[in-house]
Amino acid sequence: MNVALIFVVPLCAADCLVAQHFNLLSLCQSDKGIFGCAKSGSKRILLPIWAVRCVLAIAIGARLVMVLAMEPEPIRFSEHPIRAKDIDSDALRVLARLSDYGFYAYLVGGSVRDLLLGRKPKDFDVATSAQPDEIKRLFRRCRLIGRRFRLAHIIGDKGQIIETATFRAKPEDCGEAQLITDDNNFGTPRTDALRRDFTVNALFYDAQRQEVIDYVDGLEDLDNRLLRTIGDPVIRFREDPVRMMRAVKFAARLDFELEPSLRAAVVSQRAELGKAAVARLYEEILRLLNGGAAAESILLMDELRLLEVLIPEVSATLARADDEQYERIFNLLNTYDDVIAKGKKIPNGILLAGILWPVVESVLAELSSEIRPVQARELIEEITRPFAVRLSVPRRAMETALAVMESQLRFDRIRRKRNARSGFARTSHYAQSVCFAELRAQSGQLTDTEIEAWASLAQEFPPPPLFEKRTRGRRGHGRQRQRRGRQRR
């Protein structure tokens, strides 16, 4: 513990307090040294100033000792598998520039966790002591975003966004059940680590010293492959209910075990999801389906009873399914995971169709009579409308999901006539319908005849790319060419 910090700081603070209270404008130049005396004629001082200063210094020193005792040093781990070549060059440049200007700057969150696990991070986030306006002044290609959580997006040379946030402190306590609506209280690396959700996500990496910094025993949980909240899980889930969805995502994607108290808290606090922003819930569902562990995520959500809150249609379908139907449902989700593991992207509408199609099939199986093709669209809309309203699904994604599911029901009639096939191939969702049929075929849901019919259709009318590449010219480039043309004339 620093002796100078304990003795000099309290004395200086005591001087300031005494000077402020007694309005001392100057110190006497005497052999008393730093022990000043009051101005002559002052009647407000009942005790000698040196006594007042000593009492204040002792009080402040005792308080400082208590604060230092409450601020334990973090674990600094220098033996780790992280290498500079594994870190994005743009992120390293951001860290170096912030450090050069005297700010603390660390990699934080999922990138550190994934690097320690030997996985390739999807992105790199930076935490720093620089405040948002200071960050913006240091980087030309930078924009500030967010209200609840204000941070900077720094655009690197390769176009990748380096999300850079100031160290945060936990917001003032306004009751256990209150949601966090303002998360812009700035703090220190320690307070920033303590306000994060899970211990494995609260690790810092100091690129200058090449050290992993751990304030919350996250390294131990990482070694044990255990997902644990920082603090009481009940309180943390009440602060931000979306953390329950994130717990499912990390446990499924990383193959981690949920700590027992965390698991119990998810079950008991699942109704709190109704207080979360609907847009965030929708985004988390897409991340669960698009993260390469969709089958495990839906299974874990059902086990923790989160499905009955967010997607009760799927929860009810799983509850009624027999072993064959259950296997059929998860084979499709496993196929999604296999495709994503190969580096391929799946549009959001097809992701949604993957969890809604079993619901549609379940309802169709219970109907006493077979529906006509013209009734297919109306029936699917009726089944899926509560889901779309509950999560405020964007119209474009929901329209894609409805169209690809309708095409599966109408395909038997479409494939018989060339005019019908040609008209179907000209629709805006033709490529997505073919893609969904291929996913169903890989999961074993189509017969050989149906597989051959879809393949023949795709060969006769090749579908366009699912994702069209947009090319952007340089701003003002066309105008410059026009001016040059006029000059030549």
| pLDDT for the residue 254 | 95
Rounded Cα–Cα distance for residues 482 and 444 (Å): 57
Nearest to 388 by CA among 361, 341, 349: 349
Decide if 123 is catalytic: yes
Determine which one of 123, 217, 302, 338 is catalytic.
Answer: 123
Is 326 among the domain residues?
no
> Any residues with CB less than 8 A from the CB of 115 and at least 6 apart, and which?
81, 82, 86, 87, 121, 205
How many CB atoms are located within 10 Å of the residue 328 CB? 17
Rounded mean pLDDT of 98-126? 95
Which pair of structure tokens corresponds to residue 57? 């210094």
Lowest average pLDDT, out of 148-162, 201-215, 257-271, 315-329, goes to: 148-162
Nearest to 252 by CA among 287, 224, 294, 222: 294
In the numeric block, the tokens 């099939």 are attached to 361
Rounded Cα–Cα distance for residues 8 and 275 (Å): 50
pLDDT tens for each residue of 365-392? 888 777 777 788 899 999 999 999 999 9
Lowest average pLDDT, out of 53-67, 106-120, 191-205, 418-432, goes to: 53-67
Rounded Cα–Cα distance for residues 346 and 353 (Å): 11
pLDDT tens for each residue of 399-443? 999 999 999 999 988 998 999 999 999 999 999 999 999 999 999
Which pair of structure tokens corresponds to residue 193? 């680590």
Q: Same structural domain for residues 79 and 56?
A: no
pLDDT tens for each residue of 25-38? 343 344 444 444 44
- Give DSSP secondary structure letters for 195-263: TSSBGGG--EEETTTTEEEESSSHHHHHHHTEE-BSS-HHHHHHH-THHHHHHHHHHHHHTPEEPHHHH
| pLDDT for the residue 35 | 40
* pLDDT of 352 above 50: yes
Rounded mean pLDDT of 77-87? 92
Rounded mean pLDDT of 159-181? 73
* pLDDT of 151 above 80: yes
Q: Same structural domain for residues 274 and 200?
A: yes
> Any residues with CB less than 8 A from the CB of 8 and at least 6 apart, and which?
none
Is 416 among the domain residues?
yes
Which pair of structure tokens corresponds to residue 121? 């991070």
- Give DSSP secondary structure letters for 99-121: HHTT--EEEETHHHHHHHTTPPP
Is 436 among the domain residues?
yes
In the numeric block, the tokens 């160290």 are attached to 167
Rounded mean pLDDT of 123-132? 94
pLDDT tens for each residue of 286-321? 999 999 999 999 999 999 999 999 999 999 999 999
| pLDDT for the residue 370 | 78
Rounded mean pLDDT of 194-209? 95
| pLDDT for the residue 38 | 44
pLDDT confidence band for 146 (50 / 70 / 90): confident
Rounded mean pLDDT of 441-459? 95
More confident residue, 121 or 57: 121
Three-class SS state of 284: helix
| pLDDT for the residue 53 | 59
Rounded mean pLDDT of 218-232? 95
Q: Same structural domain for residues 279 and 345?
A: no
pLDDT confidence band for 190 (50 / 70 / 90): very high
Contact 237, 285 (CB under 8 A): no
Q: Same structural domain for residues 226 and 354?
A: no
* pLDDT of 60 above 80: no
Decide if 197 is catalytic: yes
Q: Same structural domain for residues 276 and 390?
A: no
More confident residue, 148 or 182: 148
Rounded Cα–Cα distance for residues 433 and 270 (Å): 35
Which pair of structure tokens corresponds to residue 473? 């010219």
Rounded mean pLDDT of 148-155? 87
Is 11 among the domain residues?
yes
Nearest to 204 by CA among 94, 133, 128: 128
Which pair of structure tokens corresponds to residue 120? 């390739």
Range of the structural domain that residue 412 is part of? 337-460
* pLDDT of 358 above 80: yes
Is 219 among the domain residues?
yes
pLDDT tens for each residue of 316-345? 999 999 999 999 999 999 999 999 999 999
Decide if 125 is catalytic: yes
Contact 199, 218 (CB under 8 A): yes
Nearest to 326 by CA among 348, 299, 306: 299
Secondary structure letter of residue 15 according to DSSP: H
Is 486 among the domain residues?
no
Domain with 216 in it: what CATH number?
Answer: 3.30.460.10
Determine which one of 15, 90, 192, 197 is catalytic.
Answer: 197
Highest mean pLDDT of the ranges 8-17, 19-28, 37-46: 8-17
Q: How many domains does the chain have?
A: 3
Q: Same structural domain for residues 283 and 365?
A: no
Contact 26, 72 (CB under 8 A): no
Rounded Cα–Cα distance for residues 303 and 298 (Å): 9
* pLDDT of 468 above 60: yes
Exposure string (b/e) for 23-55, b if CB count within 10 Å is 16 or more?
ebeeeeeeeeeebbebeeeeeeeeeebeebbee
Q: In Å, what is the CA distance from 29 to each residue of 21, 22, 113, 445, 478? A: 20, 18, 59, 94, 76
Where is the domain boundary, 51, 70, 89?
A: 70
* pLDDT of 39 above 90: no
| pLDDT for the residue 333 | 97
Where is the domain boundary, 70, 87, 109?
A: 70
- Compute the mean pLDDT over every residue in the chain, rounded to the nearest whole number: 84
Contact 138, 95 (CB under 8 A): no
Lowest average pLDDT, out of 99-108, 148-157, 200-209, 366-375, goes to: 366-375
What's the distance, CA 52 to chain centroid? Answer: 52
Q: Same structural domain for residues 202 and 64?
A: no
Where is the domain boundary, 295, 326, 345?
A: 295
Rounded Cα–Cα distance for residues 304 and 468 (Å): 38
Write out the H or E segment, with its range, that includes residue 407.
Answer: helix 395-414
Q: Same structural domain for residues 249 and 122?
A: yes
Q: Same structural domain for residues 51 and 142?
A: no
Q: Same structural domain for residues 404 and 422?
A: yes
Three-class SS state of 191: helix
Rounded Cα–Cα distance for residues 445 and 214 (Å): 48
Q: Give the E-state strand segments of 389-430 in sequence order.
A: none
Q: Same structural domain for residues 65 and 80?
A: no
Which pair of structure tokens corresponds to residue 282? 């929708």
Contact 429, 403 (CB under 8 A): yes
Is 381 among the domain residues?
yes
Contact 106, 91 (CB under 8 A): no
* pLDDT of 221 above 70: yes
More confident residue, 14 or 335: 335
Is 192 among the domain residues?
yes
Three-class SS state of 9: helix
More confident residue, 252 or 12: 252
Q: Same structural domain for residues 28 and 84?
A: no
* pLDDT of 278 above 50: yes
